[in-house]
Structure 1
């Protein structure tokens, strides 16, 4: 009799636990089973699954947490946003940083408020081209040693410049948490119309991050076969992860207009045949000896030699880029941006 009473009491407790969990919606309703031990076992498994789901949600890389708390969540509007360009290349030596610097200055000369971020982590050299000395960089800010304003330096023609840091060991500091912090602060950063991000050569985790939240991607290549091949690899990666539907191309160091068009058509035809990606021709820059002379003087070529062919090319390219679509991001919501991080990094 005592055994029967104890068994009945346990069944009643299990039934109450089930009803309470169902009412609070802590756990999904379990399948009805006859034996109490099966019920309890199922409850334990459900509880374990619920904990795992909560932990998984906490690990989702979403930028919702970066929003200021408000009563109603509103979608970001075009007004007041910074138009972000990620400048990338398939390999080093194609003149990507030089293009980024001169493009930023040319935009400023057209009346835009420009922020240039040298994000070639560990190998930053935009400062050399502009003759700027950095005391603090991006990682000083991410580690809390300085305020955001302390890593923003004055550049030529009123542009503002941020260095990503020259230490190779600092590359490991740009983890998920740092990426979320950086993205949130850049999105909320005021006083700029345009942000140009000079990324490292090739495709790294950091470069993919910057491509993800940029409005536009500008790919710099030269007509050399190796550069074209590496540029295609970048395009293939962007297409694979569906980061962008369109990429802008600048062909640098060309000997003629025909040479530049040939390089563009090679990449364009390959994109049409194999990738879900449209390639836009933004122009070309002549192989100009005065570019190297300007670098030796630690001056941007459009300032050091404003009448050079290459300077004229840069101004033409700037006009094409700035006359492009007005300002709204391909990434329609901040939550969608977080989802793209999930797709790439699986975290």
Structure 2
């Protein structure tokens, strides 16, 4: 397989960062990953060069990015702690490295940038008037990235719905709907029945990014694309897919209940993750959908795994079908 260059992945121990690192490696890229406490050895048995360093340390990022043509910025503070303090400094380090190397920055995007004035169908040029702190930070992230294109960097942003996948990190699927590492007996639905919600299967997101990177030289210096992912039109299709998967594997059907938002409200002052989840509640109260017309015009089609297959792979990866527990994220699922 022909080598496609060297890519640095920041956040490779997380969901989307890890999936991108593995898929780009399999596509023929030399993949570096920055990790605090990593051994100083070069390439590891997984085919990824793990480098010791911190995304908050500019020199660490500059050194790791030397010779890279792409930098994946998929790093976030763990558990959302000090999100507002740390997110922008980490991005500034990535921008500095990308400008020094004339590299392309890949940012996995979200719908947080947009406010109700742009709902329910979001296209790339939709106005960005967020109503949350995280949304305002996301807008500033993209403003700084766009400015970086005037200093030698290129930018690729791929926005998608709520992530889920076999090795996903902090997300609604594994923190709200089910409990990782445990058999699924109860499923909590955070949404309203009758209200649509958008999901994105991590392997599909990573495949989309990989395909766009293959043609990055033909894209605009600042390019944004939206993925359609999985559209849950009435707010019940995801939980029903989980119930079907569990029934197929265990022979018993779990109970579907409502997500305990009241408990999240009570716990929010004490748990940063719950506080951030509570702030995003508005996205479960009304339909918000991404229009992928620009993406399909560029690629011809969007990579897409059937919902039942994606859900079963996710539950398997989370340890919900195994006696070997997965590392559990904080959860208050009923």
Superposition TM-score, scaled by structure 1 size: 0.37
Could you say which structure has the higher helix fraction?
A: 1
* Higher CA-based Rg: 1
- The structure, 1 or 2, with the larger RCO (C-alpha pairs under 8 Å, 6+ apart) is 1
Q: If the length of structure 2 is used for normalisation, what is the TM-score?
A: 0.38
